[in-house]
Amino acid sequence: MNNTAIAPTPAEGWRWKQPSVIPGFGIAFGYTIVYLSLVVLLPLGALVLRASEVGLSGLVAVAFEPRVFAALRVSFGVSAVAAVVASIFGLLVAWVLTRYDFPGRKFVDAMVDLPFALPTAVAGIALAALYAPNGWVGAPLAALGIKVAYTPLGIFVALVFIGLPFTVRTVQPLIADLDRELEEAAATLGASRAQALRQVLLPPLAPAVLTGLALAFARAVGEYGSVIFIAGNLPFVSEIAPLLIVIKLSEFDYTGATVIATIMLALAFVMLFAINLLQAWSRRRFGHG
Amino acid sequence: MVDAAFERRSGSAAGVADATTERRTTRVAATLVAVAFLAFFLLLPLAVVFVEAFRKGVDVYLAAFGEPDAQAAIRLTLLVAAIAVPLNLVFGVAASWAIAKFEFAGKSFLITLIDLPFSVSPVVSGLVYVLLFGAQGLLGPWLLEHDIRIVFAVPGIVLATVFVTFPFVARELIPLMQEQGNSDEEAAMTLGAGGLRAFLTVTLPNVRWALLYGVLLCNARAMGEFGAVSVVSGHIRGLTNTMPLHVEILYNEYNFVAAFAVASLLALLALLTLVGKSILEWRFGDAISGRTAH
């Protein structure tokens, strides 16, 4: 073995960076790393450090405090249901927007991004006003005996709102890419349209639908602004985990806040990992993702 | 000709063209359900903002903006966006230059790290700065000694906003610049341009619409961020309240008209962002690489 650290020739040896005639790598890469470290990695490191002081046993102890456990259960439970509902309607909306033409289609398509663009606090007070017992939607529902605002159902409504663009936008490009010849072949071979949809068209969309679901779920679990106004924030009933972090912070219980944040962060990483696996699987299985 | 004859012979609605779409009734029903769902879940909340804001007339609506606290909130929101957006713009350009124009190990890991703030709850994004700079935080005692205030002051709000809007510009530019490759810049340099000149006259014009697109989204989020900012702000009226925080305070004081009036400004910003975004997508779809998922 010769010493490759000094001058590896292009043909042999491992290089961290490929040579290039384009200048500016050092300054661009250096700035990226420094800025990333200062803004993102250092603060997240502070959280990890604080959590490591608590230790695993402390983490588990706080997680199973009744109020914390209830908040985590509400957050994860309602987020899961909302993500599933958002995915089902997201698939329908994506299909209609991509496959059908109707007056105002471009307008409707642009509207899908509204939850991305609308500040969450604005969405929060709007939904609360809408679903309050005297609101446009809340009043008729109250007459039927259904209470939405200030219950977990209110959290569900807000999380569907927040999750919808993720589910639509993840599936939409794949529907546009579907190979028409497959449908024609299915029809030629005698499949009914329902069979073609179920057996030929929907299976390749499944990874994208699941990815959208995971994205919507991950966003919903961490969501704060659009939920707290409509939720009523009753401990053990409609109190979400992010709100409990804020409450713990206002009580100067930094440890409690850190533990809940760490649990949520850990889940965010698991979701990110799951999404990456899904997309890798989708690329292998269907050649896109 | 043959095709047409075949279609006619094979029977009315079952022609080849119809085999790749649903029955008309199914199409109409699906479209109606989808549009009704979107109108109910998206348009109705938007409409209610403006209706509630004007519930007591234009005068009361306008009076909400005459208040010094509201004006201070608007000024602070503009200030925070004016700092956070350029910072992340410069970062986005630097990161995409390093990532798209060069090959190096660990690139996809770096991209994952850049995307990280998107998967962190806004509340956690604020919390990390409290843990770092707060009175009981890592650097708290040192900051106290030197009389520097970060948390519960404007710098903390700026930092939290920079954190949540961190990936916006970078993630628009990276895929586009990767797709465009290096040949344009290499050609410019062969013709004698320096690195900086190649960047300014070749790269920047190539990515200008994607850059604008990223800035638009980054700005909307910077002005509208609530959770992260709420944790680090301390809610001092007239000093550390941004517009979304001011909306919350007014709403919790049952001052609904004023709350929805300030909210209507933010809703207007969201609508303008959507219009700008749609125009960019329709006119320059290829130039921003047509990606729409976030």
User: Using CA atoms in the order B166, B172, B173, B178, what is the torsion angle rounded to 10 degrees?
Assistant: 120
Please name every residue paired with B104 in a beta bridge, in sequence order, or none if there are none: A17
pLDDT at A10: 52
pLDDT at A92: 95
- pLDDT over 60 at A267, yes or no: yes
pLDDT digits (tens, 9 = 90+) for B131-171: 999 888 888 889 989 988 998 999 999 999 999 999 999 99
The answer as to whether A31 is a domain residue is no
Q: What tokens does B67 get?
A: 């208040």
pLDDT at B10: 41
pLDDT at A156: 97
pLDDT at A197: 86
Measured in whole angstroms, the distance separating CA A238 from the mean position of its chain's CA atoms is 21
3-class secondary structure, B239: coil
Q: How many CB pairs under 8 A join A and B?
A: 302
Q: What tokens does B7 get?
A: 């279609």
pLDDT at A59: 87
Give the nearest chain B residue to A194 (CA atoms). B22
Domain boundaries, chain B: 1-53, 56-289
**What CATH number is given to the structural domain containing A267?**
1.10.3720.10
Which domain covers residue A69, as residue numbers?
A: 65-286
Tracing tokens 């966006």 back to the chain, one arrives at B81
Task: Decide: residue B220, CB within 10 A, 0-12 exposed, 13-18 middle, 19+ buried.
Answer: buried
Cα–Cα distances (Å) from A218 to A288, B226, B235, in that order, read 23, 18, 28
Least Cα distance to B258 among B49, B44, B79, B78 occurs for B49
CB contact under 8 A, B98 and A32: yes
CA distance A51 to B201: 48
Contacts of B139 (CB under 8 A, 6+ apart): B132, B133
Test mutation, A21, A32, A33, chain B, max B CBs within 10 A: A32
Q: pLDDT band for A200, please (50, 70, 90 cuts).
A: confident
The answer as to whether A138 is a domain residue is yes
CB contact under 8 A, A268 and B267: no
- pLDDT over 70 at A52, yes or no: yes
CA distance A141 to B33: 20
Average pLDDT over residues A233-249: 93
**A119: nearest CB among B162, B270, B294:** B270
CB contact under 8 A, B251 and A125: yes
pLDDT at A4: 41
The answer as to whether A17 is a domain residue is no
Task: Give the DSSP H or E segment for A126.
Answer: helix A120-131
- pLDDT over 70 at A7, yes or no: no
* Phi, psi for residue B47 in degrees, rounded to 5: -65, -40
- pLDDT over 80 at A1, yes or no: no
pLDDT at A287: 64
Q: Is B182 in contact with B101 (CB distance < 8 Å)?
A: yes
pLDDT at B17: 55
Please name every residue paired with A219 in a beta bridge, in sequence order, or none if there are none: none
* 3-state SS record for B165-207: CCCHHHHHHHHHHHHHCCHHHHHHHHCCCCHHHHHHHHHHHHH
CB contact under 8 A, B273 and A117: yes
CB contact under 8 A, B224 and A118: yes
The answer as to whether A13 is a domain residue is no
Is residue A236 less than 8 Å (CB to CB) from chain B?
no
pLDDT at A288: 55
DSSP-assigned letter for residue A65: S
pLDDT at B194: 87
Task: Decide: residue B54, CB within 10 A, 0-12 exposed, 13-18 middle, 19+ buried.
Answer: middle
pLDDT at B13: 45
Give the nearest chain A residue to B164 (CA atoms). A40
Is residue B168 less than 8 Å (CB to CB) from chain A?
no
- Protein fold of B56-289: MetI-like fold (1.10.3720)
The answer as to whether A145 is a domain residue is yes
Average pLDDT over residues A259-277: 83
CA-based torsion, A192, A194, A199, A205: positive or negative: positive
Tracing tokens 């009361």 back to the chain, one arrives at B60
**B260: nearest CB among A113, A125, A252:** A125
* 3-state SS record for A69-88: HHHHHHHHHHHHHHHHHHHH
The answer as to whether A60 is a domain residue is no
- Measure B80 CA to nearest chain A CA, in Å: 15
Q: Is B45 in contact with A161 (CB distance < 8 Å)?
A: yes
The answer as to whether A2 is a domain residue is no
- Measure B12 CA to nearest chain A CA, in Å: 15
pLDDT digits (tens, 9 = 90+) for A130-162: 999 999 999 999 999 999 999 999 999 999 999
Counted domains in chain A: 1
pLDDT digits (tens, 9 = 90+) for A101-134: 999 999 999 999 999 999 999 999 999 999 999 9
ipTM > 0.90 (yes/no): no
CA distance B192 to B174: 26
3-class secondary structure, B182: coil
CA distance B37 to B58: 31
Percentage of chain A lying above the pLDDT 70 cut: 94
Tracing tokens 């900012």 back to the chain, one arrives at B229
pLDDT at A213: 92
Average pLDDT over residues A16-42: 92
Spell A143-163 as b/e; 16+ CB within 10 A means b: eeeeebbbbbbbbbbbbbbbb
CA distance B55 to B48: 10
Spans in chain B with pLDDT lower than 70? 1-19, 289-294
3-class secondary structure, A52: helix
In chain A, the N- to C-terminal Cα span, in Å, equals 42
Is residue A137 less than 8 Å (CB to CB) from chain B?
yes
Average pLDDT over chain A reads 89
